[in-house]
Structure 1
């Protein structure tokens, strides 16, 4: 198989970083909605297997939501339509096929036309090479776009954080989490804190709780049971004897990641209220804090019955990604 070349380029090139630093402050802010991706790809290629390959990666279902929602909102335009109105968009994929390219390659550029922007150039000498490149590097494209979306939220949250809430979590758990303006502590007990941002129609909440490290492995069933134990005690529903629990008919999605040099178990799935009809998505970060002989759960959940949930849960994910042990 032909070896593909992947180039990571900050601004135009690494070599021109000084020049880019000088002009970067002059760049406009990005345009477009969170989760949108502009795909610059000619119409004939978009209607072929190449377009199907892009859609397979970019518009597959976002994990852990109650109704299907795409990973990204994909907007395809042909190359001749790629004018200034689109160049400042937050996420841009530019696809070009030409025999001037000796081999398939992908060039990743940040803050090219605007900031904070991600531009990914996908170049190939022919259609077959392009299709192979997308199949081979599709998950890398998704990963870069997701990380950029999270980074935009996270930087904004750090810049405009609710300092009192952040300090409360630091003082209580020796954990630093950046909460944006509008979040407040709803409940504070010995080993459990509930932080929330409420509107008349939506709630975004973060639960932080800890317990002593067990003598068993941190399996998914064990972690689900521990979350249910805490939410049954502290997250009551609207009716008598109603409480939050994880939806048992959908096993949470699990993966192991690293966040700020911390090994994290990530769980995604659905919650519901026992004894009521409330429900929605959640994302949990679990940290096995061996040094302090404890397990840390940082759990974000959304209640937004009238709205799509993807962007709400993505915002909570950005909050969780700010976590640091202090």
Structure 2
């Protein structure tokens, strides 16, 4: 073989190898929203290690009226990763090895993908790593799933003009939501489903309604109850939507579109009625325009699972960006 032919063959092999690697990396990750693949041998899965994994990653979602798991879990033995390229979006690999280690590899087999590697010399070592790293794993997966839902939503969104003109924000709302109520400072969009409906509320109030000498949580609850009294009622008289009084909502301080925001998760009910369900409420403190912008999602789906309905509403709300006037 002469030198020219050898160089040509070498170049061809290099290009083929690069193409192979590129194909692996760019393979699209698949799977249902809020699902994790746990790669772990049966012996560990059926031990206290498996119990810990189930307790952490299938724990009840906060703010729902009945228990639903944070994630759906599928377990596979570790031998399936030997020579097998998985395309699950979220994978947790747990093994006994000589080194105690925790590692996150992004897009290892597909994209977008998180692969969390946990190795320990003993079951106790693995449990210790799980205890320390589970919050990071959960936060990473939740963010990935929100972004994946937002990609799906973006494929078919409502004309943004009405929301933009009224509140000066961009918000990706799927086309299966329809305007139910359109007031000067209030919008109610609703999606009908077989078992009920999902709703999205957008409105704004002066900042001092939220931040004043009174308790912040109480102010937000009073605000949303007053909105319920104005706009959201049952079929009978005096059946306004209120924050359920029997359970205190969960409350967090976060950032949305780079601004201070308050997140509240809990359950709503119709006063003097039987209807109820979960809600998520976000109050964005928009100092530049002297307002508190409120985005709320709630659903009514009696006797049906609500986790993924609320996940979609959270993904919609977290797509928000405030438009410069």
Q: TM-score range by the shorter chain?
A: 0.7 to 0.9
Q: 1:212 aligns with which of 206, 209, 223?
A: 206
Runs of 4+ in 1 over 6 A off after TM superposition: 18-21, 83-86
Q: 2:142 aligns with which of 119, 131, 146?
A: 146
Q: Indicate conservation of the 8 Å contact 1:106/1:123, yes or no.
A: no
Match of 1:5 in 2: none
Q: Indicate conservation of the 8 Å contact 1:87/1:113, yes or no.
A: yes
Structure 2 runs not aligned, ≥5 long: 1-17
CA distance in 2, matches of 1:48, 1:23: 37
Match of 2:285 in 1: 288
Match of 2:66 in 1: 67
The residue matched to 1:60 in structure 2 has which SS?
A: coil
Q: 2:220 aligns with which of 201, 205, 223?
A: 223
User: By how many angstroms is 1:118 displaced?
Assistant: 2.6
Matched, 1:23 2:23: yes
Match of 2:172 in 1: 178
The residue matched to 1:88 in structure 2 has which SS?
A: coil
CA distance in 2, matches of 1:21, 1:193: 49
Match of 2:8 in 1: none
Q: Indicate conservation of the 8 Å contact 1:104/1:125, yes or no.
A: no
Q: Deviations over 1:128-169 (max 9, x none)?
A: 32221111111001111111111100122223212x2x3211
Q: 2:113 aligns with which of 108, 111, 117?
A: 117
CA distance in 2, matches of 1:161, 1:250: 35
Structure 1 runs not aligned, ≥5 long: 1-17
Match of 1:247 in 2: 244
Q: Flag the 1:194–1:311 CA change in 2: closer, same or farther, 3 A.
A: same
- Choose 125-134 or 309-318, whichever is displaced more: 125-134
1:278-317 correspondence runs (5 A): 278-317=275-314
User: By how many angstroms is 1:280 displaced?
Assistant: 0.5
Q: Flag the 1:142–1:129 CA change in 2: closer, same or farther, 3 A.
A: same
The residue matched to 1:249 in structure 2 has which SS?
A: coil
CA distance in 1, matches of 2:170, 2:141: 25
Q: Flag the 1:242–1:122 CA change in 2: closer, same or farther, 3 A.
A: same
User: By how many angstroms is 1:246 displaced?
Assistant: 0.8
CA distance in 2, matches of 1:84, 1:248: 55
Q: Indicate conservation of the 8 Å contact 2:27/2:87, yes or no.
A: no
Q: Indicate conservation of the 8 Å contact 1:59/1:74, yes or no.
A: yes
Q: 1:196 aligns with which of 190, 199, 202?
A: 190
Q: Deviations over 1:202-252 (max 9, x none)?
A: 211110111112144561111000000011110121223322111011111
Q: Flag the 1:95–1:306 CA change in 2: closer, same or farther, 3 A.
A: same
Q: Flag the 1:259–1:211 CA change in 2: closer, same or farther, 3 A.
A: closer
Matched, 1:107 2:123: no
Q: Flag the 1:304–1:104 CA change in 2: closer, same or farther, 3 A.
A: same
Q: TM-score, normalised by structure 1?
A: 0.86
Q: Which has the larger radius of gyration?
A: 2
Match of 1:264 in 2: 261
